[in-house]
Structure 1
């Protein structure tokens, strides 16, 4: 029983090997699946860098700075 399983697995591996080598034609991943993919990419030369204004900088997080204090009022719990 185990010999048949090994033989079937060996044949399946050989079939997969020859299929990936292109014996049955080109693989589906060989062609372009997204022809417009290159048209949608960003072109670095067309990007413009602009300085951040003071109003926009107020919304930015300060990396490495202390955490802001939470505006929460605390009181003692009655016993």
Structure 2
């Protein structure tokens, strides 16, 4: 019984490998299915990289630090 399971899994893996390699045609992600998105791409030469100043860096989260405590106003509920 275990031999049959191993043989079936082996052939399933072999079939998946052959399918990924393109034996049954190109994969759906291989071609551009939405050509209208190509026209709306951002041109990399138009992007500008600038350093972040101290005012902009104040509201950025620090990776690895605890989350900042949010000031919450609490009051007693009426009964």
Unaligned runs of 5+ in 1: 48-60, 65-69, 73-79
Any runs of at least 4 consecutive aligned residues in structure 1 with deviations exceeding 3 A, and if so which? 44-47
Q: Distance in 2 between matches of 1:43 and 1:11?
A: 46
Question: Aligned residue for 1:29?
Answer: 29
Return the offset for 1:32: 0.8
| RMSD over equivalenced CA pairs, Å | 2.7
Q: Counterpart of 2:8 in 1: which secondary structure?
A: helix
CA 45–10 in structure 1, closer or farther in 2 if over 3 Å, else same: closer
In the TM superposition, what is the alpha-carbon distance from 1:43 to its structure 2 partner?
A: 2.7
Tell me the CA shift for residue 45 of structure 1: 5.2
**Count of residue correspondences:** 53
Q: Structure 1-normalised TM-score?
A: 0.51
Unpaired runs of at least 5, structure 2: 48-53, 59-70, 74-79
Report the equivalent of 2:20: 20
User: Which residue of 2 is the match for residue 7 of structure 1?
Assistant: 7
CA distance in 1, matches of 2:24, 2:5: 25
- Structure number with bigger Rg: 1
Q: Report the 3-state secondary structure (helix = DSSP H, G, I; strand = E; otherwise coil) of the residue aligned with 1:14.
A: helix
